[in-house]
Amino acid sequence: MREAYSNRPAALADYVVILRRRKWIILVLPAIAAASAYAVSHTQSPLYRATAEILVNRSSIVSAVSGVTDPALGDPRRFLTTQASIARSPELASRVASAAGVQGLTAGEVLGASSITPRTDADLLDISISWANPADAARIANAYAREFTRYKTELDTQRINDALRTLKTRIKALQAQRETGSTSYSILVQEQSQLETIGTLLANNTSVLQPAAGGAKVRPRPVRSAILGGLLGAALGLGLAFLAEALDRRVRSESEIEETLGLPLIGRVPAPARHLRDANGLVMLAEPAGAHAESFRKLKTSIDFLNLDRGARTIMVTSALPREGKSTTIANLAVAFARGGRKVSLVDLDLRRPFLHSFFYRGEGRGIWDVVVGHDELAGALRSIALPAVTSADAPSSNGSRRRTSAALDGGGEASSILNFLPSGTIPSSGADGVGPMLENKQLDAVLADLAAQSDLVLVDAPPLLAVDDAMVLTTKVDAVVVVLHIGIPRPLLSELARQLDASRAPVLGFILTGVTEADGYGYGYGYGPYSYDVQTKAERSAKSV
């Protein structure tokens, strides 16, 4: 078993692939978040915000008069933060509630509806009031600004006024003692004059610079809420997408499969169209000139190159699990080889769940089971499937091509090549118990040898490797093995598949990746866009050029 492969994205393209793979998470979450935010916003009651600006003078009158530096003025942020804290005083809130003229307003409501914000670039305080009525919001904001200037003046001049009262008392005492000519009296009068000057200046230290003119709508703002909700949902969606990718144990990279299995990638095959899946159709028959069919022609060429040195005549196609596209792939591949001029025999040895016959005809008949147990001869069980020639009418356009294919397989239309098909046969009701012994029957070796002798290539559809041990038994009877893997196989199963393939008796040519889409980083266009392949006759091209 090979060393585990790191699943961490290594390049921008890897992240793009992840985003495309998880696009529903990334798209749906922002849409849901935006719609929810929009709906919630509509249920909110209206709210308006009014803001008044207050200028706070940081110059120190005390320093100017006394010549003493005030250290509190050195840090403007600290100074304005202190003023904002003063503005949250309950006493001031009570004054605002009384002065605003809004009926029923309380100090608690004032504090709850207000916010004081110091400016970082100027000596300003913003007093904001959020209220249900825009006019009342402006009234409360303006009352708050006016009362704050008064309250601040009272705080700033309180000590000055106390000192003035004391001086006036002493001056009156000296006047009563008729000592107005004394030195003490002169000093007290001079100090009184200085304090009155300082008090007058401090009274104008705070002023309303810009009163609130009206209330701006804060909520509901559904468009803004939807945008913010969408952005939040987008961030959450991206996080969940990468989290889901990290927790996902499925293989999303062909490089990881190559590293784990130690095998080359033979080719990539996209998932068949829905109309083909519903009708059990093959793209090589329904749309042989389409881009999807071109992927099987490229697959045929890749297998030829890988098989040059080995010269394998009997190639078994298996998968890790059921429903990985094994039977569809081998059937299309057989048609591609047959149309390429090879004499091809297609054998259905998936005896527990035979399916190949549904691509070519309806009903049951004799097959390899009957030949091995001696109920029929190989020539009688082998069916010749006439393949219609590919023309410009087979360009991928829908129902007409499917009707033409059906007619050719039923014997109508012109056949350009023949595919020999050996179905599973009439397996008895208890056949599941006898599959193992039948696969080990020497007669099966003889049948496969006869087919190889009369064919250029024998393609064997085998059961999944991890489902039953039938495929491991068949590796002793074939010349080479090709594995079909669906993109997204769980990593533990991939590791177990590597262990099984290491024990294979036949060499493994490589693996085919099925179910590939554009989200996995692959395209199938040929100059005309994904899944389009322009097929024109010479006359059509000449007519268009004119």
Q: What integer pLDDT is reported at residue 71 of this predicted model?
A: 53
Count CB neighbours of 36 within 10 A. Answer: 14
Distances (CA, A) of 487 to 253, 270, 292, 331: 8, 10, 17, 19
- Please determine, for residue 91, whether its predicted confidence score (pLDDT) is greater than 80: yes
Tell me the pLDDT band of 528, cut-offs 50, 70 and 90.
very low
Task: Give the CATH number of the domain where residue 342 resides.
Answer: 3.40.50.300
Domain for residue 37, yes or no? no
Does 211 share its domain with 317? no
Mean pLDDT in residue range 245-250: 79
Q: Decide: helix, strand or coil at residue 243.
A: helix
From the list 476, 446, 450, the residue with the least C-alpha distance to 462 is 476
Q: Compute the distance between CA of residue 203 and CA of residue 158 in angstroms, rounded to an integer.
A: 10
Domain for residue 6, yes or no? no
Highest mean pLDDT among 271-285, 400-414, 464-478, 520-534: 464-478
Domain for residue 247, yes or no? no
Residue pair 14/515 in contact by the 8 Å Cβ criterion: no
Does 259 share its domain with 174? no
Does 371 share its domain with 447? yes
User: Domain containing 461: what range?
Assistant: 254-271+311-393+417-529
Does 65 share its domain with 194? yes
Query: What pTM did the predictor assign?
Result: 0.60
Q: What integer pLDDT is reported at residue 115 of this predicted model?
A: 92
Helix ranges (DSSP H) in 248-324: 254-261, 274-279, 283-286, 291-306
Distances (CA, A) of 466 to 86, 224, 258, 321, 487: 78, 55, 18, 6, 16
Q: What integer pLDDT is reported at residue 448 of this predicted model?
A: 95
Q: What integer pLDDT is reported at residue 410 of this predicted model?
A: 45
Domain for residue 340, yes or no? yes
Mean pLDDT in residue range 153-172: 77
Domain for residue 360, yes or no? yes
Does 212 share its domain with 260? no
Q: Compute the distance between CA of residue 407 and CA of residue 418 in angstroms, rounded to an integer.
A: 15
Does 80 share its domain with 138? yes
Strand 265-270's sheet: what is its strand order? Answer: 265-270, 508-516, 480-486, 314-319, 457-461, 344-348, 415-422, 383-388
Write down the mean pLDDT value for the chain. Answer: 81
Query: What is the total count of domains within the chain?
Result: 2
Distances (CA, A) of 519 to 16, 17, 77, 487, 511: 9, 6, 54, 11, 20
DSSP states along 535-546: ---HHHHHHHH-
Domain for residue 10, yes or no? no
Does 188 share its domain with 322? no
Q: Which residue has the higher pLDDT, 450 or 15?
A: 450
From the list 87, 74, 71, the residue with the least C-alpha distance to 148 is 87
